[in-house]
């Protein structure tokens, strides 16, 4: 037969071709069945502990679909009486130990345990509820942990260790006493946690959630005497998620602006604008270091606060290599602060970010002037979604609006900051001597685009070949650093802590890998729609450098980090 070298197996009676799938789960998806899982994430190692994805083979044996590779001739069933019985019992066992106050849980509606309990029609839990009293750990400004909502699937642990190489949390103790814990259960704020929030992304329940600052922002908005300005980061616009009826990757910037205006924000800006400032400053710095040709290469990007925190705790000796540029958020905040100097009202500045680590960046001492933070509150995309819902705004129907002046112009270079490789591409656009469209295209194809965790490129800058590394995910960053320490040379390294960049940020609504890719693609098409592609061509830049920034570039746009020890809030 023609199918001779194809291999097949059967899922629920349907023949399926085996095509390099690592495990049965991937194969089962091909027949349109969504298996129940808690501990499976394609980017993490197989843990196989929740036992929800068991399937029954032709001999009546049970196998966990996540850890069993497909084999030709295998016949499996995904939904039998036995399997349903076991899945129900497992759910019942998990629920018996769980806080069941769903209505007051942060993850109400997005919780996998809740979802599966509904799917499997769990209407009675026959075991006494032994859930301990809530144990809220909120020392971190980025995330909040609640141990009694933890189902010990270990997703956060593997995320923190395998993908991020941070190692703030791990399993501790064993058996029914097992917990997920920092060393000696110290507060997260005292641990090596960098606040990236990827653990919260991975958590299937409400055991790790983004710290909620919504109430403070509402309060500022409600106070008529306060002028509330807001900036919106690039990655936010493509990630509002299905909850608001937005397709993955769809650019909803205009509607976000409109919604924020309705909520009462006085001035609304796009962080892409200040990203242009970052591009100009960082390009200068790179050009200068390249020109000097001495140490302090590679230059590491500094936009990502989780990366900065990681570097200062893990590789303090490398801090000299980290760009002195503030992140776009902090640059903008400094500019807005200066712009508001003459305002008679009390000013509050809010940043809407895809990122939980930005909450930490905002409270850093380096970004306080006379004890006051430049960014008063950081809201994550998740919080923005909630505020929109809370305000009752019919988001899909709202008319898009434009951001405010005087800082209302931005470029495509600034918009792509929200995806891995974007910062590098923007800097290369600035540094390239050839300003043609062809040159622009060729930069896009140097290898800086794409969701891969490690990308490398060689680019000619003037006469010089520049070696560039683009990494996302802190494990990838530390691997690259080890290579550099072993003697490999790089000139510029862009680091984003979250895999895929800010589009997958810890503060974004949860998304599958496919949806994350769509978010990235959304930013690149937003770039296409921008008439200006290069930061230096942003007309606003000229007026800023001649105005607010005059003589104060270093003070307002650069920072010198003090080191690992920070006063925590």
Binding site for another protein (CB under 8 A): 46-51, 54, 62, 64, 66-69, 82, 85-86, 89-90, 93-94, 96-97, 126-128, 151-152, 154, 161, 166-178, 181-184, 191-192
Instruction: Output the six-digit token pair for 520.
Output: 């990235």
Concerning whether 361 is annotated as a catalytic residue, the answer is yes
Provide the minimum distance between the beta carbon of 116 and another protein in the complex, in angstroms, as a whole number. 12
Catalytic residue among 267, 282, 383, 494: 282
Smallest separation (angstroms) from another protein to the CB of 157: 9
Of 303, 325, 355, 498, which is the active-site residue? 303
Q: What are phi and psi of 559, to 5 degrees?
A: -145, 150
Q: Which of 358, 359, 455, 518 is catalytic?
A: 358
Q: How far is the CB of 535 from another protein (least distance, A)?
A: 39
Question: Is residue 105 annotated as part of the catalytic site, yes or no?
Answer: no
**Is residue 303 annotated as a catalytic residue, yes or no?**
yes
Based on the residue annotation, tell me whether 391 is a catalytic residue of this protein: no
Provide the sign of the torsion angle of the four alpha carbons 164, 368, 273, 378, taken in this order.
Answer: positive
Tell me if residue 203 is catalytic.
Answer: no
11 or 156: CB nearest another protein: 156
Question: CA 271 to CA 532: how far, in whole Å?
Answer: 16
Of 88 and 216, which CB lies nearer to another protein in the complex structure?
88
Nearer to another protein, 151 or 357 (CB): 151
Rg, C-alpha atoms of the chain:
25
- Of the two residues 20 and 392, which places its CB atom closer to another protein in the complex? 20
- Rounded to a whole number of angstroms, the minimum distance from the CB of residue 339 to another protein is 43
Among candidate residues 452, 446, 486, the one with its CA nearest the CA of residue 472: 452
User: Which residue from 235, 205, 33 is spatially nearest to 115, judged by alpha carbons?
Assistant: 205
Least distance (Å) between residue 304 CB and another protein:
21
Rounded to whole angstroms, the Cα distance separating 301 from 306 reads 12
* Complex with another protein: residue 67 or 212, whichever CB lies closer: 67
User: How does DSSP assign 152-194, residue by residue?
Assistant: ---HHHHIIIIIT-----EEES-GGG-EEESGGG--GGGTT--
Residue 285 tokens read as 């710095």
Backbone angles phi, psi at 472, to 5 degrees: -130, 145
Structure tokens, 295: 């140490």
Catalytic site residue 282? yes
**456 given a catalytic annotation:** no
- Confirm whether 272 is a catalytic residue: no
CA dihedral over 219, 222, 228, 232, signed as positive or negative: positive
**Phi then psi dihedrals of residue 88, to 5 deg:** -60, -40
**Rounded to the nearest whole angstrom, what is the least distance from the CB of residue 55 to another protein in the complex?**
11
Q: Are 189 and 137 in contact (CB under 8 A)?
A: no
Q: Between residues 190 and 401, which has the closer beta carbon with respect to another protein?
A: 190
- State the catalytic residues: 282, 285, 303, 323, 358, 361, 366, 502
């Amino acid at each position: 037969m023609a199918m001779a070298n194809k291999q097949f197996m059967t899922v629920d009676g349907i023949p399926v071709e085996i095509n390099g799938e690592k495990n049965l789960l991937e194969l089962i998806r091909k027949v349109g069945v969504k298996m129940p899982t808690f501990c499976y994430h394609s980017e993490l190692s197989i843990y196989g502990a929740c036992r929800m994805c068991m399937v029954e083979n032709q001999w009546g044996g049970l196998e966990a679909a996540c850890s069993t590779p497909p084999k030709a001739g295998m016949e499996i069933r995904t939904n039998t009486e036995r399997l349903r019985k076991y899945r129900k019992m497992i759910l019942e066992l998990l629920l018996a130990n769980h806080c069941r106050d769903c209505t007051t849980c942060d993850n109400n509606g997005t919780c996998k345990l809740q979802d599966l309990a509904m799917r499997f029609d769990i209407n009675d839990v026959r075991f006494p509820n032994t859930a301990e009293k809530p144990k809220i750990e909120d020392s971190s400004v980025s995330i909040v942990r609640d141990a009694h909502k933890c189902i010990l699937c270990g997703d956060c642990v593997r995320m923190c260790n395998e993908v991020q190489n941070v190692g703030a949390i791990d399993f501790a103790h064993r058996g029914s006493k097992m917990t997920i814990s920092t060393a000696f259960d110290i507060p997260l704020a005292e641990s090596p946690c960098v606040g990236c929030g990827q653990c919260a992304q991975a958590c299937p329940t409400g055991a790790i959630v983004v710290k909620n600052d919504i109430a403070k922002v509402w309060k500022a908005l409600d106070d008529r005497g306060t002028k509330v300005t807001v900036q919106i980061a690039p990655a936010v616009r493509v990630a509002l998620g299905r909850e608001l009826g937005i397709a993955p990757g769809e650019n909803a910037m205009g509607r976000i602006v409109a919604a924020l205006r309705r909520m009462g924000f006085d001035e609304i800006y796009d962080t892409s604008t200040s990203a242009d400032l970052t591009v100009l400053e960082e390009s200068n710095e790179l050009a200068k270091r390249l020109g000097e040709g001495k140490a302090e290469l590679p230059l590491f990007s500094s936009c990502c606060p989780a990366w900065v925190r990681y570097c200062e705790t893990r590789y303090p000796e490398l801090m000299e290599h980290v760009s002195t540029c503030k992140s776009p958020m902090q640059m903008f905040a400094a500019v807005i602060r200066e712009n508001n100097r003459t305002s008679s009202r009390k000013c509050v500045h809010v940043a809407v970010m895809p990122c939980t680590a930005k909450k930490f960046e905002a409270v850093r001492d380096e970004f306080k002037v006379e004890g006051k933070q430049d960014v008063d509150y950081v809201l994550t995309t998740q919080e923005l979604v909630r505020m929109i819902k809370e305000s009752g705004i019919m988001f899909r129907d709202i008319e898009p609006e434009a951001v405010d002046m005087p800082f209302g112009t931005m470029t495509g270079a600034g918009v792509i900051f929200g995806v891995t490789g974007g910062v590098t591409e923007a800097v290369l656009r600035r540094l390239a001597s050839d300003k043609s469209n062809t040159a622009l295209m060729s930069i896009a194809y140097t290898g800086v685009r794409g969701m891969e965790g490690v990308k490398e490129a060689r680019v000619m800058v003037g006469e010089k070949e520049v070696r560039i590394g683009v990494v996302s995910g802190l494990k990838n960053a530390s691997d690259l650093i080890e290579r550099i320490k072993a003697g490999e040379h790089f000139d510029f390294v862009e680091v984003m802590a979250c895999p895929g960049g800010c589009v997958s940020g810890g503060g974004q609504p949860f998304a599958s890998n496919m949806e994350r890719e769509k978010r990235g693609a959304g930013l690149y098409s937003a770039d296409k729609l921008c008439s200006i592609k290069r930061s230096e061509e942003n007309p606003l830049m000229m007026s800023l450098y001649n105005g607010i920034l005059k003589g104060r570039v270093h003070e307002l746009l650069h920072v010198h980090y003090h080191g690992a020890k920070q006063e925590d809030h």
